[in-house]
Amino acid sequence: MVYNMHERFVRAEPERIWEVLTTIGSGDDRLWPEGKGTFRLPEGLAPGAPVEHSSLRYRVGTVEPGRKLWFDTGKQLSEGHGFTLIERDGGTLVRHELKGRTGGMFRLMWPLVIRRQHDIVIELILDNLEREAVRAAL
């Protein structure tokens, strides 16, 4: 079982954060860090839509505007990964979780290679999200 969590408190309302978060994988993506593989949503952000994440292929799971964006990763990771927005006084707690049982090569690659790269990418995404959401709030 794999569980990985990153959190960031952002001084912006959940609606503003959601506006920025939903650019991920689009032609106007303001979050995905340059030079860190690819993340594309060729059919947009809707439940069941395909996700192209570097060499991985999976689907958009849950889309709850202003609250939750979850990706179903199938056999690679049984429960998936995604973002939850929790309103707090003065802003929003943004949480990214990755969890589930692993399968295939993911089981071997997660502890050796993927985890470290995943942690770097998620922290860069949270940096970009915070910068863009706060800028939009000004």
23-48 tens-digit pLDDT: 999 999 999 999 999 999 999 999 99
pTM attached to this predicted model: 0.94
Among residues 30, 27, 31, the alpha carbon closest in space to that of 40 is found at 27
pLDDT for position 137:
60
CATH at residue 84? 3.30.530.20
Cα separation, 40 vs 4, in Å, equals 22
Residue 43 domain boundaries: 2-137
Query: E strands, 42-90, where?
Result: 50-53, 56-64, 68-72, 80-88
Domain total for the chain?
1
Q: Coil, strand, or helix at residue 38?
A: coil
Q: For CA atoms 128, 48, 50, 5, give the dihedral sign.
A: positive
